A = this chain, B = another copy of it.
Amino acid sequence: MENKKFLTILKIGGNIIDNPTELKQFLSDFSKIDGYKVLVHGGGKSATKMAQSIGLVPQMIEGRRITDAAMLEVVVMIYAGQINKDIVAQLQAYNTNAVGFSGADGNLMLSSKRNHPTIDYGFVGDVQKVNTTLLGTLINSGIVPVFCAITHDGKGQLLNTNADTIASELAIALSEFFDVTLNYCFEKPGVLFDAADDNSVITSINQELYATLKADGAIHSGMIPKLDNCFNSLQKGVQKIKIGHHRMLNDTKALYTTITL
């Protein structure tokens, strides 16, 4: 089997997007990553702010935000319009040939509207299929895809989709062609032994340690679905996953968590 080329997939969230200075620094660091790469970005607070300023009231059911038709319009505008194009233009200034995509573009990511037995989440999509042929061709031709968290159902309907899931689905699908490292950048320096102590970074975690820490209660709440998702991606072919603050990209002393099977 021939050696696969390395591909770095990086997901950033609201903590970077909401801070123009951090975003600029991050994009400069991202532009310096060698080799093939893909960026996935979440939304940050702008969509909520925009929704409020046009008088939309957030629809919540059982603590979950519902994407009704009006909210979908807002997230499409903000994620695929404002944030995505701003990132693409900034990356171009760093000589990175970025192209912004939603899942509808090139049918790159097909979803189905979530069908939940008791909660109608509205226009929320669960990923069904990645168009790896086109995406692989684009990446191999030197394009750096920048994905926003919008997909489509193939029948003309755009759908709001979790950015972490988009990153992991891209990583799984592209691991057919590439040796993929998936990086989740968030506000913490990594997975922590003690959530209150940023210095307690677990530098390396595998399924065995994860089981122990979960049983001890050291890893709990929001970190559980995140890590379950990571192990699922690794089982499906992703080579390596890193979780940490985006400073891990340019600060060689910065700690982060590496996740392997």
Residues of A within 8 A of B (CB): 50, 53-55, 73, 76-82, 84-86, 88-90, 92-93, 97-102, 104-107, 134, 137, 141, 143, 150, 152, 154-158
**Are the C-beta atoms of B76 and A156 separated by less than 8 Å?**
no
**Are the C-beta atoms of B76 and A85 separated by less than 8 Å?**
yes
Given contacts A77-B78, A78-B81, A79-B81, 14 further A-B contacts (CB under 8 A): A53-B53, A53-B54, A76-B81, A76-B82, A76-B86, A81-B82, A81-B84, A88-B152, A89-B152, A89-B156, A92-B107, A97-B106, A99-B105, A106-B143
Q: How many copies does the complex hold?
A: 2
Report the Cα distance A154→B81, complex, angstroms. Answer: 18
**Are the C-beta atoms of A156 and B90 separated by less than 8 Å?**
yes
14 example contacts (A-B, Cβ-Cβ < 8 A) are as follows A54-B54, A73-B82, A76-B86, A77-B77, A81-B84, A85-B104, A85-B105, A85-B150, A86-B158, A89-B104, A92-B152, A98-B105, A99-B106, A134-B143
- Chain B residues with Cβ under 8 A from A53's Cβ? 53-55
Also in contact, A141 and B137, with CB within 8 A (given A81-B81, A81-B82, A107-B92): yes
Report the Cα distance A109→B158, complex, angstroms. Answer: 26
Name the prevailing secondary structure of the A interface residues. helix
**Are the C-beta atoms of B105 and A158 separated by less than 8 Å?**
no
**Are the C-beta atoms of A97 and B102 separated by less than 8 Å?**
no
Give the residue name and chain of the B residue nearest to A73 (CB): B82
- Chain B residues with Cβ under 8 A from A107's Cβ? 92, 97
Q: Closest CB of chain B to A76's CB: distance in Å?
A: 5
Report the Cα distance A93→B143, complex, angstroms. Answer: 25
The 7 closest A-B pairs by CB, nearest first: A81-B81, A93-B156, A77-B81, A77-B77, A89-B104, A99-B105, A89-B152
**Are the C-beta atoms of A85 and B80 separated by less than 8 Å?**
yes
Q: Closest CB of chain B to A116's CB: distance in Å?
A: 22
Give the residue name and chain of the B residue nearest to A137 (CB): B141
**Are the C-beta atoms of B88 and A104 separated by less than 8 Å?**
yes
Give the residue name and chain of the B residue nearest to A96 (CB): B107
Partner of A81, one of B55, B80, B89: B80
**Are the C-beta atoms of A154 and B106 separated by less than 8 Å?**
no
Q: Closest CB of chain B to A157's CB: distance in Å?
A: 7
Report the Cα distance A77→B54, complex, angstroms. Answer: 14
Report the Cα distance A137→B84, complex, angstroms. Answer: 23
Report the Cα distance A127→B154, complex, angstroms. Answer: 33
- Chain B residues with Cβ under 8 A from A93's Cβ? 154-156
Report the Cα distance A143→B13, complex, angstroms. Answer: 30
